[in-house]
Each structure stands twice: as structure tokens, then as C-alpha cells.
Chains A and B, each alone.
Chain A
Amino acid sequence: MRRFRRWRRKYSYFLFLLPALILIVFLTVYPLVRVFYLSFYRYNPIRRVERFAGFANYLRLFSDRFFLTGLKNTFLFSVGATVTEVLLGLGLALLFNVKFRGRKLLLPLVIFPMMFSTMVICAIWRSMYHYDYGIFNYALRSLGFEPVKWLINKDLALWSVVLVDIWQWTPMAFLILLAGLQSIPGELYEAARVDGATGARLFRHVTLPLLRNHIFLALLLRSIDTFKIFDKVYALTGGGPGTATETISFYIYRQGFTYFNMGRASAAAVVMFLAVSAVSLLYIRQVWRGEK
């Protein structure tokens, strides 16, 4: 009896965690294991093909022009969008950390872009980017400049998509960093000022170190989100022109749900999973190191 009570005291909290654990097992662990398993098979549920294929799916990926370009574009997109968003977000956060008139009114305006559906945003941007009738080229033409092939030029199209992401998600980086700034106690600045620090030095030696974890959090969240970029590509360019805006998610979607090549789609998903995990680990280690 006493042993049972001790056992219960020790392990009963598992019981409370059980519902969450079951959910995680079914919705995260099982699919993950299944994707790993399928990535070694030639598996097409529609044509009823299922046979072991070893590393064939992986080998095929790394000789596939579309996958390789997708990988490259995804990295460019993720790095380009994340860095710009966090830098702009930091600038905005510093601005809004100063008390000024109308701040309460302006704040909702700044976070506005986050509140729209991506599909709606893309439809609007698509019309603004239109070569003949879009507002950007209209403005350029009336100022006497050459119109720009926003979504048509294969060297520019990816960056046009990045721009939409920056417009939509800078507010999120901004909110995280603003919260970070407002959690820095004012006394620290006073103490630093007493010691003779001003302006840039104050920022460099007080603000930045204390904001460090928030910056890493913003970088982590934005890079994970941009790494799986799909909706904007789907709505703005369809992955074109050529392979200019091909991304890994888009590749997985096509292989999986247009061709039903589940094996190859799974292999691509595994590669993506490993890449995201590596990036996350890097950030998380940075944060932990900062805490020590």
C-alpha cells in the first residue's frame, strides 16, 4: 500500500500528461516515422505501387534540377526575408519604444499587414506587380523610368516574392522585439548613463545584449516560417518563370499531391526536416549559451 502511494506520487503526473502525449504521438511522432519509412519506398497509392527502393528517392532528388533549385531558392528566400524582417522590426521597435504622440494609434496600423489572409494579400500584390497595369510600373512610367518585370524576370521574381513576405511579416518581428525592449528595466540605462555611456554605446552594451534572446527568437520563428514558404509562391508565380521561384515545399506538394509520388515527396520532406532542425538547433544553442 505504501509502495503504491509512493509510486502514485512519483508517476501520477504522467497520467495528467497522457492526453497531450497521445496527441503528440499520433499527430507528430507517427507521421514523422511514417515519412522516414516512406522515403525509402517507391510508393504511389493511386497506381498501387509500393516497393522498397533504398536510397533511390534521395539520389534522384539530388539529380533533380527542380529540387536543387528549390533548395537554393528556399535558402535565399529564408535568409533574405528573415534578416530583413528582423532588422526592420528592430528599427521599428526602437522607434516605438520612445514615447511619442499618436503611438497608440500608429501601433495597430503597423501590425495591420499580419491580419490579412495571405491569399488576399497575394491577389493584391499580383495586380500591383502586373507588368502593364500594375501600380508600381504605372508609377515608374509616369516618373519617366523603365517598367520593371517584377514577377516575369527570372532573376527578380524570387525577390518580388520576398518583398511581399517582408511586408506581411515584419510586424511580427517588430512585436517580439518591442516586447523585449519593454522588458529591459529602466534602471540599467540610468546606471549606464551615470557611468557616462550615451547613444550608440548605450545601445551596443545595454540594449543589444539584453535583447539578444528576443532577437534569436524572432530569427528562429521567421526562418522556420519562411523555410516552408508555399502559399505566396503558389499564389504569385506558381513556381515560375522556369524554376525561378521553385521552393522545397512547392516541390513536395507537386510530387505528393499532383503526381502522388509519395516516396519522393517523403524523401524531400525528410531533407527539409533535417535542414529546419539544423537551423533550429543552431539558434537554440545560441540562446542557451546566452543564458549560462
Chain B
Amino acid sequence: MRKVALLLVFLLGIAVLALPKEKLVIAGRDGGYGAALQIAVDIFMERNPDVEIELLKLPYKGLYEKLVIDLSAGGGAYDIVMLDDPWATEFMSLGWLQSLEELGYTPDPDFVPTALSVCRYPYPDGELYSLPHVGNVELFAYRKDLFDKYGLASPPKTWADVLEAAAVISANEPGVHGVVFRGRKGNPIVTGFLPILWGFGADIVEEGKVVLNSREAVAALKFFLLLKQYAPEGVEIWNSSEVKEALLAGDAAIAIEVWPAWVPDLDNHDKSKVVGKVEIAPAPGLVEKSSPMLGAWLLGISSASRHKELALKFLEFVTSAEIQKVLTLQAGHAPTRVSVLTDPEVVAKYRWFPSQLAALESAVPRPRVLVWSEIEGILGEYLQLALIGELSPEKALAEAAERIAEVVGE
């Protein structure tokens, strides 16, 4: 009897010693996003030695494909998933993410409301399924020095001001293009165009109906083509690297779309020829108020995760004011908390943060539909056909609306 008891104690001892660390797997993005999240992961593991976290750093499309395949099958390969906000409707409505309120979480009012609203389903005030991690918002960049030189109102308040400024600077400043943007088909051109579309008072989908074929939308697209006159050759195939290069080299007076992640480089002497000359502002408006596009990255917990409590603990940790401040100062992270965006130490390092907060507060999310990636693909293709002059703006939007209606109608 004693032998058996001893053996049991011995076995129990082994079991305790060999007890594996609790392990979380995070599916996240590569590049700067990955580097920032890695800092948070490292701090978390340091403070919780019994936890092991594996952070997968995946490219944009690869992440989407992997998430869709794993989450739709309920595989549970990932505990925490990082998702772009237009995927949110799909992920949340299909029950792929764990409700955070069910786990006993109540969100902090410190989060910028627009960023938190896309974490809920139904949008904007339903159940909370994720937390806003990266507060990306489309920003507008212009050369303050050139605007002052030609007596142009800065920052430009409306899209009409932008067109005028682009024309004046193109005509008078040799070697400087009036405006640059991403014209590559698909996501880039759509992202560049959306603030203009919204600024003109048009939209793609309203209450489940396609409204793209409107007079306002045609006016917005015609305006986009007018702007293109002052853009460099080949802007049709430009993506973010080209826009960034042109801005940093001082070859561009206006970029209608820049993102928080690459703004810091503009003030970096090693990379930029225009240190201190570029101002950042929210996108201009026209009929409507300024309508910059929201591009938030969210963190959610897979419904199939077996470590939901721990995952929530990490989510709360990484979105806390303390950690957001660390990530912002160390890795140029775009915070989602008002307190971090207005923190004096942070603003001292990133002078455009007040503009970024203003943009974030007035940001418009992309349509909350299941099929956004397909809508974006279709719109991107037709916008480009209009941009290269193969279709008239009217025809391009009419055809795109027809195709999008087919998809939305299902």
C-alpha cells in the first residue's frame, strides 16, 4: 500500500515538473506590424514566465487565406488572430470569433469610438468580438513650404482646393508633381479613391443596396481623373512604395493617401529630403465633411481556441495604454487610445498625432458587408479602366455597380 502511495506521489511529481507551459499561437502580420507585436509578446512572456507565445508573421494575403481556411473549419490552429477591419463582418457574422463580453470583458471608453465600433457585430453597437490594435487611418500629406510659397490655403479644406493646388504647383515648380497616389488596380486604387467618393457624398453600398451608379459618384470619379493630369507618368501602376519614394525624394507636392506607419520616415534625415516640410492632415471634404478611410487592425480570439482566458489576458495587455505607448514610442505603432494619441511624450515625438486623432475620430469604415474583398476587387478593376481611359467614368461605374449588385444580392 505504501509502495503504491509513494509511486503515486512520484508520478504526480513528474507530471507537475513536466507540465507544459501554456502556449498561445498568434496569427499576425509581417513587417512593421509584426515587429511591434513582437515587442508586446516579449514583454508579456517576461512577465508571465509560464506562458509561451508563438507569433506567426504573415503577409497580407497569406494571412487572410490562412485565417479563412482555419477559422471556417474550426481547426483551432490559432488562438489569437489579427484581422483587417474589412474582414471583420465576415469573421464575426460567421461565428469564427469568440465574443469578448461573454468572457466577461467590458471595453475601456478610452478607445477611439470609430475604431471600437468596427470590432462589434452588428456594426456599430452589437456584440464585441475583437479589440482595436492598430489605429490606422488614411492621412493626407502636403508640402507646407510649397503651399506657403504659392499662397495656397493650408491645409486644403476641400477637394477643390486640392485640385487647384496641384495645378498651381505642377505648373510652377519644375520637377515636382502636383499630386501622387496609388493607381494600381485592386485594393490600392480603391483605397486612394474612397475618401474622394465619400467626400463627394457618394457611397458604394447603403443599407444593403448598391448606390455606386449615382451622379455624385460619377462626379467623384471625374474629379479623380482631373487630379490624374497632375500626377506622374505611370501612376496607374503605382503602389505604396512608389508614393513613399516620391514623397521622400521631394518629387511630390501632395499625396492624397499616406498611412501612419510610414509618416515617421518623412522626418528622418537619412531617408527624407523634405524633413519638416511635409504636413499631415485629415483628408479634405467637399459636399460631406472630411471622410478619411479607416484601416484598423483588430485582434480577436478564435472560437476554436482552447486557451480563451489566457488569450483575453494577452489582448487586454497588448491594447492597454501602457503597452500601446511603448509600441508607439519604440516601433511607430498607430495607437487606438485617446490617452496615448494625446500623451505629451508621444506627441513630442510624432508631431502629427493631433491630426491623426482628428482623422481617426472622423474616419469612415469600408462597407460592413460579407463580401468586401470581392467588391473591392471589382471596383478596383473598373476604376482602373476609367483611369487609363479605356472606359468612360459613367460606363465604368455603371458596369461596376452591376457586378457588385450581383455579389451583394446573394
Which residues of A are at the interface with B, using a C-beta cutoff of 8 A? 45-47, 49, 65-66, 131-132, 149, 151-152, 154, 237-243, 254, 257-261
Contact = CB atoms under 8 A, between A and B. Distances in A.
Contacts of A154: 388, 390
A103 B390 CA distance: 50
A238 B234 contact: no
Given A46-B72, A243-B385, A131 B185 contact: no
Contacts of A261: 374
Given A47-B410, A258-B377, 13 more contacts: A46-B68, A46-B90, A47-B371, A132-B234, A149-B233, A151-B234, A151-B237, A152-B234, A152-B237, A238-B186, A240-B236, A242-B388, A242-B390
Contacts of B232: 132
Contact of B237 (A132, A240, A258): A240
Contact of B233 (A152, A238, A260): A152
A238 B185 contact: yes
Interface string B371-399: 10110010001001101101000000001
B370 A242 contact: no
B72 A45 contact: yes
Contacts of B234: 131-132, 149, 151-152
A259 B233 CA distance: 31
B102 interface: no
A10 B300 CA distance: 63
Task: Describe A's contact surface by its main secondary structure.
Answer: loop
Interface string B224-261: 00000000111011000000000000000000000000
A152 B232 CA distance: 11
A237 B374 contact: no
A123 to B, nearest CB: 12
A238 B184 contact: yes
Contacts of A131: 233-234
A259 B379 CA distance: 13
A240 B377 contact: no
Contacts of A239: 185
- Contact-residue bracket for chain B: 20 to 34
B390 A258 contact: no
A154 B410 CA distance: 34
Contact of B410 (A49, A151, A260): A49
B384 A242 contact: yes
Given A152-B237, A238-B186, A47 B384 contact: no
A237 B90 CA distance: 29
B410 A242 contact: no
Nearest to A49: B410
B374 to A, nearest CB: 4
Contacts of B384: 240-242
Interface string B52-88: 0000000001000100100010000000000000000
Contact of A241 (B61, B90, B374, B388): B388
A18 B198 CA distance: 63
Contact of A240 (B90, B184, B374): B184
A254 B377 contact: yes
B252 to A, nearest CB: 13
A10 B265 CA distance: 76
Which of B185, B237, B377 has the most chain A CB atoms closer than 10 A to its own CB?
Answer: B237
Contacts of A243: 381, 385, 390
B410 A241 contact: no
Contacts of A241: 185, 236-237, 384, 387-388
11 contacts: A132-B232, A132-B233, A152-B234, A238-B237, A240-B185, A241-B237, A241-B388, A242-B384, A258-B61, A258-B374, A259-B374
A192 to B, nearest CB: 54
A273 B92 CA distance: 38
Nearest to B235: A152
A39 to B, nearest CB: 18
A242 B385 contact: yes
- Which 7 A-B residue pairs are closest in the complex by CB-CB distance? A152-B234, A241-B236, A259-B374, A131-B234, A242-B388, A240-B185, A242-B385
Contacts of B388: 154, 241-242
Contacts of A47: 370-371, 410
Which of A46, A131, A241, A257 has the most chain B CB atoms closer than 10 A to its own CB?
Answer: A241
A240 B237 CA distance: 7
A165 B68 CA distance: 34
A65 B384 CA distance: 13
Given A241-B388, A242-B390, A259 B185 contact: no
A217 B225 CA distance: 49
B236 A152 contact: yes
Contacts of A49: 410
Interface string B147-186: 0000000000000000000000000000000000000111
Contacts of A45: 72
Nearest to B381: A66
A239 B236 CA distance: 12
A284 to B, nearest CB: 37
Given A151-B237, A152-B237, A241-B236, A258 B373 contact: yes
B382 to A, nearest CB: 9
Nearest to A240: B185
Contacts of B61: 258
B381 to A, nearest CB: 6
Contacts of B399: 65
Interface in B79-138: 90
B250 to A, nearest CB: 14
